[in-house]
Structure 1
Amino acid sequence: MFLRYERSIKEFMEYYPIVSTLVIIHFALWLIIDFLALPLGHTLESWGIGMNFLIAQGQYWRLFTPIFLHGDLMHALFNSFSLVLFGPALEQMLGKSKFLLAYFGAGIIGNIGTFFFGPLNYWHLGASGAIFGLFGIYIFMVLNRKHLIDQSSAQMVSTILVIGLIMTFLRSGINIYAHIFGFIGGFIIAPLVLSKAQPYSPWRNQRRRRRYSEGEIQFDPNRWRKKRWIPAKIRKNWLLIVIGILALLGLLRRFF
């Protein structure tokens, strides 16, 4: 379930548009807020960050908006990598609408837990609660829907969850409440979104693409006139290249 069979970034984005869009949003907001430090970025951060005091004043949108924001590049990279690793299988199994419900539902529950159990002056941001919600769904499958997850994937996700929970309490600066309640939220939402789910299969994507391709016009009379100024490898992996450049720029920024 967690091995990638896609041949390019373009193919990954075609199969998993929700996961791809969320990752793009993560890095676009980091670029605007942190790297370029645009006035718009400052406005987005000030209006989107989770602050318990302001939520208590009625700014309830802050239970939702922190899911998109991250403190720095490494924070965005880690959460985006986790989403790319654990999100695609669920996006295929649940479908776009249920995946969005599960992801944001768990994230909001994690932020609600932060609001009720965290200090009034506590502030937070990040997609960790939503990602731990995905773990909650997987663990529900391990315990109650064994036909939806193979044994090796069950062992892998259980091991990573244990490591993640240990690191939650050992590392400083982590929103423990969001991790715990995000996981609980995902576990609670799981029976709702898994009602008609089918086991993940990478071949299902390929069959869908084959049916789509067979319905297209196979011959383009002008195809030989089109000039490809960008090499094929770069076109196929442009998102990965952009992420790498952003990571390099973020690291260089620490020294200049």
Structure 2
Amino acid sequence: MFTRTESFREFIRFYPLVSIIVTIHIILFLLTILPIFPNQWFIETFSGVNLYIMEGEVWRLITPTFMHSGFAHMLFNSFSLVLFGPALERMLGGGRFLFVYLLSGLIANVATLLLEPLTYTHVGSSGAIFGLFGYYIAIIIFRKHMLSKQNSQIILVLCVVSLIMTFFQPNINITAHLFGLISGFLLGFFSQR
């Protein structure tokens, strides 16, 4: 389930939304580092800045979900999505998968807006990825038959490790991680009813 054995072409064909999201991550990362836009214009215009959101730049509630602060940040989040996104994309179908991903990211960013200072700046898809973790946890609790015991254990261990890392790593948007996880869990819970 979490082992990738497909060729590159097969992966794109089987999991088009995960492929598109990862491609967006890469393109936006390149746009932030290549000297195409002057003086970090791209990152300054599309990152989440609470003050600017309060002044009406509401696109900043979605765009940070696709942007990253550096190569390692982009690589880690994209790798997490490649590992854990395909199974959910297949289980939920493309539309529902995208809904869970985007809504978890949006809720994580709204929570960041409401709970962090106006000067707070954030980027990264972690809130949306934690939403996928939350959805998996809802499946483990309410639809045990959908995942094997081994895959359930993998998800739970990685979720616990990721949560622990949230509190011990520097420059982590703890609010986004927690609210992404909660929103994904609630979406999973309500979809089971």
Q: TM-score range by the shorter chain?
A: over 0.9
Q: How many residues get paired?
A: 193
Pair 1:30-2:29 in alignment? yes
Aligned to 2:63: 65
Contact kept in structure 2, 1:139 and 1:158, CA below 8 Å: yes
Contact kept in structure 1, 2:31 and 2:42, CA below 8 Å: no
Paired with 1:183 and 1:111, the residues of 2 have a C-alpha distance of 12
Contact kept in structure 2, 1:129 and 1:178, CA below 8 Å: yes
1:193 to partner: Cα distance: 4.7
Contact kept in structure 1, 2:22 and 2:78, CA below 8 Å: yes
Q: CA RMSD in A?
A: 1.5
One-letter code of the match for 1:59?
E
Q: Deviations over 1:116-157 (max 9, x none)?
A: 111111000000000000000000011111111110011001
Structure 1 residue runs of 5 or longer lacking an equivalent are 196-256
Aligned to 1:56: 54
Larger Cα Rg: Structure 1 or Structure 2? 1
Question: Residues 83 and 41 of structure 1: is their aligned pair in 2 closer, same or farther, counting only changes over 3 Å?
Answer: farther
1:44 to partner: Cα distance: 2.9
Paired with 1:53 and 1:13, the residues of 2 have a C-alpha distance of 38
Aligned to 1:82: 80
Paired with 1:191 and 1:44, the residues of 2 have a C-alpha distance of 37
One-letter code of the match for 1:60?
V
Aligned to 2:148: 150
* TM-score scaled by length of structure 1: 0.72
1:25 to partner: Cα distance: 1.0
Question: Residues 56 and 90 of structure 1: is their aligned pair in 2 closer, same or farther, counting only changes over 3 Å?
Answer: same
Paired with 1:98 and 1:91, the residues of 2 have a C-alpha distance of 8
1:40 to partner: Cα distance: 7.0
Paired with 1:31 and 1:160, the residues of 2 have a C-alpha distance of 29
Structure 2 residue runs of 5 or longer lacking an equivalent are none
1:171 to partner: Cα distance: 0.7
**How do 1:57-206 residues align onto structure 2 when only pairs under 5 Å count?**
57-193=55-191
Contact kept in structure 1, 2:65 and 2:105, CA below 8 Å: yes
